[in-house]
Structure 1
Amino acid sequence: MSTARLTVSTLAMLAAGASAASARDEIRIVGSSTVFPYTQAVAEQFANNTGAPSPIVESTGTGGGMKIFCGGIGESYPDITGASRAMKPSEYELCQQNGVTDISEALIGYDGLSIAISRANEMEWDLTLEDIYLGLAAQVPVEGEWADNPYTRWTEINPDLPDVEILAYGPPPTSGTRDAFVELAMHAGCEELDFVKEGGFDGDWIKQNCSRMRQDGPFVEAGENDNLIVQRLDADPNAMGIFGYSFLYENLDRLKPVMINGVEPATETIADKSYPISRPLYFYVKNAHRGVIPNLDAFIEEYMSDDALEQGGYLAERGLVALGEDELTQLQDNVLDGKPMDLQD
């Protein structure tokens, strides 16, 4: 939305929302479990630097956060939402319908989607994207037909893999991590199948037929709390977990990464794109709350600071892969100036 004129009713809604928002003292943030530790780190730094109340940061998942964020303006609604994927057109439309018409988008850096296993597992793991698809997809090729997935052990897919049962804990459909994993790992793995290549199936077919995860046991939806996945991996050394690199990075004492196409997730491999499943991370600011919610502008300045976002900054120390210098400067200018996004279908 650029210079579109506001109607009288829209102006009244913004004014009412701003008045209500002023009754709340704490900044409120929702959204992605992957972005959560970065936002929490900024919140702690901000509170230490300023003495202001620490923002309330909730891990609701990307989809859940968007729904709450786009619910309206005023004190009942959050000021910022984190996202492990870009806002969808349908979410943008929901925001518009509810008067959230002025939003700034911040791409804060990059993250690798990691598959990890307990350090108690002594085997070496290296999966291809095709292996991942065949292990975790609801439907796969079976004797030349597209059918329900029959595989129960990794060696049934690839005899070079460890001979253990397939079991992976991953995020639910409301999670941006799930959306990104389906797009970057499952669709890409499906594209590698001879069945798909020889059949000449296009991207629409892949999206329609290769997006569903298994529901017969080998893939388990573990909710938005990544700590619960770690507990389950501790309990079963052969089980795998799917989450963002930042969470793996913070739990390397208990977990080890599974290589994909011979490459481990790491800051360097995510940055140079040699690690095959990486994604951008975002947060979104409700601009109607700027100048109304106490300390919101100052918090955004801390989030956009070089100390937080540059290479070697305190978010990079927690696993965020930093933007390049030019990208970072443009991001800081756009967000600090409150540049509104204009998402079109």
Structure 2
Amino acid sequence: MYYLKLTASACAVAAISATASVAQSRDEIRIVGSSTVFPYTQAVAEQFANNTGAPSPIVESTGTGGGMQIFCGGIGEAHADITGASRAMKASEFQLCQDNGVTEITEALIGFDGLSLAISRANDAAWDLTLGEIYLALGAQVPVDGEWADNPYTMWNEINPDLPAVEILAYGPPPTSGTRDAFVELAMHAGCEELAFVEEGGFDGDWVGENCSRMRTDGPFVEAGENDNLIVQRLEADSNALGIFGYSFLYENLDKLKGVQIEGVEPTIDTIADKSYPVSRPLYFYIKNAHRGVIPNLNEFIEEYMSDDALMTGGYLSERGLVPLAEDRIVELQDAVLDGVSMEAPQ
């Protein structure tokens, strides 16, 4: 029995060594995940490459859900080192990681972002939507004559006569996107809860989650993929169409687009930071700790991401639209991430 235990231990060490050897054969850091986090990570990658002369990390915009699937696929050369996310890791994703040997993960909440509704600057209407109006425009089912039924609205002014008399058309992210998850939770669910039908009917959160999560599939809402730049192009082509994406993409395209007010508040860095803008969410990235010290330059890249130059107010990420954490929270984040503190299982 003692011999067998030694053999098992030796096999485990050999397996870890083999994984490290395979991982080391890849020179570039590989990062996947959220299209919203993508521009921030890309900015860090460029800064890192310029500062160190090391190969620039490969950053892929796969969407939050797609990134989690790739990240949690396993340990070694074939698997990503970091994934970005526009929501926290789900319990099911954490379990997938555990099942595939990705057992030590560091979670980093890097800042905040507003979910923006944007429209072309060529549109001169004064857009100001309530969350309830957003739901009535884009929800698959809505109240109709006292019943919960398929959405009949085709024009904005059918929902509210004060809104423009134009067809409802909104381009947004697919179900694999963390932006979609966040939009459903922060805008669709909240808007559904504002409806008199729901309030007066006494429907609870479970009912809202089950009945108010589906987006329309009959034309007014169009899934535009994970590339938010394509949404920007479509808004330029159709001045009456709305786009749904993270604030960073609105921020980068303010020469072409303007934010739609929600509940009377325009999306800006200040309104997202002070929480007066009603549709904001945290942004994350996740590090595969088994790859630290194995993938060349990974630790140095993490140090750049955690630097004051990147994260603090006035840093180069806030210049790109990231709403930074408070300074004391940034210091706590830096300590935890640089020390490789592993996250607990999500509840």
Query: TM-score, with normalisation over the residues of structure 1?
Result: 0.97
Alpha-carbon offset, residue 234 of structure 1: 1.1
Identity across the alignment (%): 79
Q: Secondary structure at the match of 2:341?
A: coil
Summarize the Cα distance change of 1:160–1:298 in structure 2 as closer, same or farther, 3 Å threshold.
same
From 277, 280, 289, the counterpart of 2:279 = 277
Query: TM-score, with normalisation over the residues of structure 2?
Result: 0.96
- Tell me the equivalent position of 2:33: 31
Q: Which ranges of structure 2 fall in alignment gaps of 5 or more residues?
A: 1-8
Alpha-carbon offset, residue 344 of structure 1: 3.7
Task: Say whether the 8 Å CA contact 1:13–1:99 is kept in structure 2.
Answer: no
- Tell me the equivalent position of 2:175: 173
CA distance, structure 1, for counterparts of residue 183 and residue 328 of structure 2: 28
- Tell me the equivalent position of 1:320: 322
Q: Secondary structure at the match of 1:46?
A: helix
1:27-83: per-residue Cα shift (whole Å, max 9, x none)? Answer: 000000000000000000000101111000000000000000000010100100000
Alpha-carbon offset, residue 312 of structure 1: 0.5
From 113, 127, 130, the counterpart of 1:128 = 130
From 180, 184, 187, the counterpart of 1:185 = 187
Task: Say whether the 8 Å CA contact 2:169–2:220 is kept in structure 1.
Answer: yes
1:269-309: per-residue Cα shift (whole Å, max 9, x none)? Answer: 00000000000000000000000000000000000000000
Task: Say whether the 8 Å CA contact 1:172–1:224 is kept in structure 2.
Answer: yes
Aligned residues: 340
Summarize the Cα distance change of 1:9–1:343 in structure 2 as closer, same or farther, 3 Å threshold.
farther
CA distance, structure 2, for counterparts of residue 39 and residue 219 of structure 1: 29
Summarize the Cα distance change of 1:141–1:42 in structure 2 as closer, same or farther, 3 Å threshold.
same
CA distance, structure 1, for counterparts of residue 340 and residue 295 of structure 2: 15
Q: Residue 109 in 1 paired to residue 106 in 2? A: no
Amino acid at match of 2:285: F
Task: Say whether the 8 Å CA contact 2:90–2:346 is kept in structure 1.
Answer: no
CA distance, structure 2, for counterparts of residue 100 and residue 163 of structure 1: 52
Q: Which has the greater radius of gyration?
A: 2
Task: Say whether the 8 Å CA contact 2:89–2:346 is kept in structure 1.
Answer: no
Alpha-carbon offset, residue 19 of structure 1: 1.9
Tell me how large the CA RMSD over aligned residues is.
Answer: 1.3
Q: Which ranges of structure 1 fall in alignment gaps of 5 or more residues?
A: 1-6
Q: Residue 211 in 1 paired to residue 213 in 2? A: yes
CA distance, structure 2, for counterparts of residue 11 and residue 95 of structure 1: 20
CA distance, structure 2, for counterparts of residue 306 and residue 158 of structure 1: 47
Counterparts of residues 1-345 of structure 1 (less than 5 Å): 13-345=15-347
